[in-house]
C-alpha cells in the first residue's frame, strides 16, 4: 500500500494529538487504536507533509515543536520532522481573544497554494477554529487546486454548497461537516438516546451542556458560533428518535485550565410503562484531541481507499460516520455499521 500524504490546517490541540498519534503508531503499536486497518491501510501509512497556522509563534518552526507551543497535552515525545509550519490564511475578522497574538490578516491564498502543490498531499484536514467560515472556504479552494481531497472538521457548512460537486468532478472526496469524536459529548448523547429508544422508552426531554478549555471552546462562546453549533448538535441528537422531543445541546462556558479537556453534563427524561419516569443525570469527562483523532485516522484512511479504487460514491458513508452535520444524517448505530461493513477489511 502507498503512503497517505496529509496536510494539516491549524496546529492546535487536535493537530497536536494527531501528530503524536502518527508518531506513536508508527512503532506498530495498536493499543488505543479503534481500527487497526481501514480500507487495507494501517496507521503507519499516514504521513504529514505540510502544516499551516496563523499564530506567529508557530510559523517558521518545525511542527514537532509547534504542536506544544500552546501547552498542549504531551502524550509522547515527537522527533524532529523537518516540516516547517507555514503562514496560513486568515480571511475573517480576527476574534477578540486572538487580537493580542495575531497581528496580520492574511487574506491571500497564493503562498498556501504554492506550498500545498509542492508538498503534494492526498488529503487536506481543516482543523481551524469554528467561525472562520471564509478562511475554511479558501482552504477548500486551495485543496481543490492542489488535487487533494478535503476534510472539514469545523462547523462551517460546506457540504451543502457547490464544493461537493466540484471535488467530485475532479475525482476527489470532500467530507464533513463538524467532526464527531469517537466518544465525545455528542456521540455519548446519541448513544444514550439510541439505547433508550431501542429499549422502548419514550424520550421526552434532553439537555447537554459542555464546558472546556480549548481554543475551539473559547471560539464557541461567541453567540453567533454558539447558536450555529447548538443547532447542528441538537439536530443530530434528535436523529436518534423516530419522533420529536425537546432538546438543548451546546457549549456553555470556557475554562482555560481545562486545556483540551471537556466536561459534559447530561439530563435526559424518558417515560416507560404506565408513563413511569426515568431520569438520567450524568457527567462525562473526556479529552477533545484524543477522541477526535481515532475518527480522523479512520476518515483519512477511508478517503484514500475510495480515491485509490474510484469509489467516490462512498463519500456519504464516511460523512455519516465521522461528522455531526453530514449531507444525510442517520442514527449513530446505522452509520457505524455501514462504515465498518464497507471499510474494515
CB atoms within 10 A of CB 344: 14
* 288 Cβ contact partners less than 8 Å away, ≥ 6 residues apart: 13, 14, 181, 184, 212, 214, 216, 260, 261, 262
* Domains observed in the chain: 4-180+290-343 (3.40.50.720), 185-286 (3.30.360.10)
Checking if the pLDDT of 96 tops 90, the result is no
Model pLDDT for residues 189-211, shown as the tens digit of each residue: 999 999 999 999 999 999 999 99
Determine which of 38-52, 202-216, 329-343 has the lowest per-residue pLDDT on average: 202-216
Rounded to 5°, the CA angle 331-298-90 comes to: 95
* pLDDT (mean) for 81-90: 96
H or E, element range at 287: strand 277-287
pLDDT score of 104 = 62
* Band of residue 212 on the pLDDT scale cut at 50, 70, 90: confident
Kindly provide the b/e burial profile for residues 246-283, where b requires at least 16 CB atoms within 10 angstroms of the residue's own CB.
ebebbbeebeeebbbbbbbebebbbeeeeeeeeebeee
Measuring CA to CA, which residue among 164, 108, 166 is closest to residue 138?
A: 108
| CA–CA gap between residue 107 and residue 1 (Å, rounded) | 38
pLDDT score of 97 = 63
pTM: 0.92
* pLDDT (mean) for 50-73: 94
* pLDDT (mean) for 202-227: 82
Model pLDDT for residues 115-173, shown as the tens digit of each residue: 999 999 999 999 998 888 999 999 999 999 999 999 999 999 999 899 999 999 999 99
| CA–CA gap between residue 14 and residue 20 (Å, rounded) | 10
| CA–CA gap between residue 139 and residue 116 (Å, rounded) | 10
| CA–CA gap between residue 304 and residue 129 (Å, rounded) | 25
Checking if the pLDDT of 1 tops 70, the result is no
Mean pLDDT for the chain overall = 91
DSSP code at position 281? E
* Band of residue 98 on the pLDDT scale cut at 50, 70, 90: low
Model pLDDT for residues 225-276, shown as the tens digit of each residue: 777 777 888 888 999 999 999 998 877 788 888 888 889 999 999 999 999 9
3-state secondary structure of 103: coil
Checking if the pLDDT of 217 tops 90, the result is no
3-state secondary structure of 200: coil
pLDDT score of 309 = 96
Amino acid at each position: 500500500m502507498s503512503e497517505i500524504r496529509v496536510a494539516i490546517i491549524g496546529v492546535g490541540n487536535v493537530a497536536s494529538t494527531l501528530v503524536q498519534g502518527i508518531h506513536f503508531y508508527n512503532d506498530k503499536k495498536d493499543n488505543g487504536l479503534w481500527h487497526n486497518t481501514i480500507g487495507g491501510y494501517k496507521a503507519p501509512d499516514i504521513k504529514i507533509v505540510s502544516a499551516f497556522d496563523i499564530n506567529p509563534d508557530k510559523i517558521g518552526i518545525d511542527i514537532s515543536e509547534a504542536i506544544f507551543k500552546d501547552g498542549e497535552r504531551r502524550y509522547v515525545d515527537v522527533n524532529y520532522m523537518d516540516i516547517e509550519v507555514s503562514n496560513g490564511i486568515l480571511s475573517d475578522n480576527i476574534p477578540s481573544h486572538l487580537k493580542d497574538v495575531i497581528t496580520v490578516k492574511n487574506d491571500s491564498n497564493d503562498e498556501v497554494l504554492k506550498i500545498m502543490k509542492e508538498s503534494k498531499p492526498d488529503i487536506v484536514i481543516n482543523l481551524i477554529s469554528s467561525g472562520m467560515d471564509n478562511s475554511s472556504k479558501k482552504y477548500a479552494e486551495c485543496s481543490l487546486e492542489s488535487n487533494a481531497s478535503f476534510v472539514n472538521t469545523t462547523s462551517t457548512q460546506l457540504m451543502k454548497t457547490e464544493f461537493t460537486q466540484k471535488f467530485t468532478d475532479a475525482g476527489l472526496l470532500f467530507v464533513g461537516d463538524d467532526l464527531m469524536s469517537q466518544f465525545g459529548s455528542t456521540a455519548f448523547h446519541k448513544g444514550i438516546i439510541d439505547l433508550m429508544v431501542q429499549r422502548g422508552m419514550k424520550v421526552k426531554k434532553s439537555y447537554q451542556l459542555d464546558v472546556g478549555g480549548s481554543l475551539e471552546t473559547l471560539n464557541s462562546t461567541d453567540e453567533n458560533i454558539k447558536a450555529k453549533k447548538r443547532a447542528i448538535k441538537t439536530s443530530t441528537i434528535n436523529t436518534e428518535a423516530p419522533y420529536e422531543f425537546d432538546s438543548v445541546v451546546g457549549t456553555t462556558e470556557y475554562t482555560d485550565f481545562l486545556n483540551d479537556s471537556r466536561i459534559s453534563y447530561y439530563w435526559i427524561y424518558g417515560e416507560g410503562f404506565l408513563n413511569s419516569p426515568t431520569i438520567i443525570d450524568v457527567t462525562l469527562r473526556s479529552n477533545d484531541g484524543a477522541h477526535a483523532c481515532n475518527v480522523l485516522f479512520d476518515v483519512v484512511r477511508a478517503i484514500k481507499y475510495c480515491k485509490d479504487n474510484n469509489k467516490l460514491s462512498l463519500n456519504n458513508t464516511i460523512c455519516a460516520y465521522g461528522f455531526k452535520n453530514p449531507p444525510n444524517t442517520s442514527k449513530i448505530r446505522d452509520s457505524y455499521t455501514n462504515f465498518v461493513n464497507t471499510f474494515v477489511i
